[in-house]
Amino acid sequence: MNNNTSEHTITSSGTAGSPALDIDKIRELFPVLHQEVNGQSLVYFDNAATTQKPKPVLDALHDYYTSMNANIHRGVHTLADRATAAFEATRESIRRFINAAEKEEIIFTKGTTDGLNLIAATWGRANIQQGDEIIISALEHHSNIVPWQMLCQEKGATLKVIPIDGNGDIRLEEFEKLLTNKTKLISIVHASNALGTINPIEAVIKKGHEAGAVVVIDGAQASAHITLDVQALDCDFYVFSGHKMYAPTGTGIVYGKRSLLEAMPPYQGGGEMIKEVTFEKTTYNVIPYKFEAGTPNIADIVAFRHGVEFIEMLGRKKIAEYEEQLLSYAKEKLSEVPGLRFIGTAKRKVSVVSFAIEGVHHFDVGMMLDAKGIAVRTGHHCTQPLMRMLGIEGTVRASFSVYNTTAEIDRLAEGLKGIVKMMR
């Protein structure tokens, strides 16, 4: 089965040598978008939670189960060879996508949450001691707070938080004040899922290393929107999920520098992560297999590669430019809604708009938009500490992807105006 879509099918005439994205043809690749919800055509603005899946990804899942379903690595038969080759092809595609030095630095996980817990349970338990300090930011998702809290409680370490300003940007000068000779680890989100803020991770990594700290980057919201080069960034770990970049759920990546991964103890015990087992002693496998115990989520990881290739096929620069246009248009149109207040106004953002409407609860806004066929996210977005810091319970969040359109944003704006009129 041929799962590739040649580039000419998703571009239209533009400037010489740089064709524009053909959004209509891109949308044709996403079957789920072509349905009615509550009697109206679906508008899907919940991409920060999970993106929809293009046909090449869906075809890859079908192809795996119909032509190569077998367990990987240990088999000597033809189907096992096919499955192993397809599985490892995804590892190499991820290495290329983030420009890791070698594919052995790519560890498969269930997602960003699993990856952050892996680092906390392995590097963290082996290296964090009583009196040490870990730094995170006020923008963090619960997945980048709770594992470090648990580690600090276990080890007697201290968790410090970088504050933000009124726009939703971290305060770098305050971050530098938090750094001490006790700082052992910094874990910070690349782009905020709640506000869209893109953090200056280059500066954080540089200052962190100058202080002797290991730096972890949570890239869950950045991987589909921002060109990544982990070698240029010089981060120690970079973690992200497949399902936010057009790939299946239950897939994720931990990138780690070889020297760190080799020194870390295993995450779980069982098959694949062992070299030799006796009842007296076990010797562990080499990286990355040392951290991949048990039968992995093979089919979804095989399909993960096609999500990566979909992004590469469109071009990350073109995606970013188009999503920036959507973000700018949304700010303009939503500013016309009476009583709407934007939450998070950083200058550098991924395509996320969070807002509140005076006198209308965010849950009510979400339910009334759903009645109009428009899917948004409401609530605290797994950032309860951030919401408390902002003095609110939650927001309405509209998050855009490359298959969204300005016409859909018009529907969102008109829907919100109708809600305001009805509620008043």
Give the β-pairing of 40-41 and 36-37. antiparallel
pLDDT at residue 273, as a whole number: 82
1 within a domain of the structure (yes/no):
no
Q: Could you give the angle at the alpha carbon of 237 between the alpha carbons of 402 and 58, nearest 5°?
A: 35
pLDDT at residue 74, as a whole number: 79
pLDDT at residue 424, as a whole number: 76
CA distance 364 to 375: 13
Which of 292, 312, 332 is at the close of a domain? 312
Active site residue 152: no
pLDDT at residue 283, as a whole number: 83
* Residues 84, 33 within the same domain: no
* Residues 49, 114 within the same domain: no
pLDDT at residue 17, as a whole number: 47
Which of 251, 280, 312 is at the close of a domain? 312
pLDDT at residue 20, as a whole number: 87
State the virtual CA torsion across 409, 411, 412, 415 in degrees, nearest 10: 160
- pLDDT tens readout for residues 220-279: 999 999 999 999 999 999 999 999 999 999 999 999 999 999 999 999 888 788 788 788
* Residues 258, 381 within the same domain: no
288 within a domain of the structure (yes/no):
yes
pLDDT at residue 14, as a whole number: 42
* Residues 19, 147 within the same domain: no
Which of 278, 293, 312 is at the close of a domain? 312
Which residue in 43, 98, 303, 382 is the catalytic one? 382
247 within a domain of the structure (yes/no):
yes
- Burial level of 285, CB count in 10 A (0-12/13-18/19+)? middle
Q: Please answer whether residues 19 and 12 qualify as being in contact, where contact means their C-beta atoms are separated by less than 8 angstroms.
A: yes
- Amino acid found at 244: K
208 within a domain of the structure (yes/no):
yes
The total of structural domains in the chain comes to 2
- pLDDT tens readout for residues 24-52: 999 999 999 999 999 999 999 999 999 99
* Residues 168, 239 within the same domain: yes
* CA 87 to chain CA centroid, nearest Å: 21
* Residues 83, 181 within the same domain: yes
* Residues 183, 244 within the same domain: yes
CATH number for the domain that contains residue 324: 3.90.1150.10
CA distance 348 to 346: 6
* Residues 170, 155 within the same domain: yes
In the chain, which stretches have pLDDT less than 50? 1-9, 12-17
CA distance 293 to 271: 5
* Residues 40, 127 within the same domain: no
Q: Which helix (H) or strand (E) holds 375?
A: strand 374-375
2 within a domain of the structure (yes/no):
no
80 within a domain of the structure (yes/no):
yes
* Residues 325, 279 within the same domain: no
175 within a domain of the structure (yes/no):
yes
* Residues 350, 272 within the same domain: no
* Residues 216, 95 within the same domain: yes
CATH number for the domain that contains residue 147: 3.40.640.10
122 within a domain of the structure (yes/no):
yes
Could you identify the residue written with the tokens 């939650």? 394
Q: What is the pTM of this model?
A: 0.94
Q: Look up the domain containing 223 and give its range.
A: 60-312
- Burial level of 190, CB count in 10 A (0-12/13-18/19+)? buried
- pLDDT tens readout for residues 398-424: 999 999 999 999 999 999 999 999 987
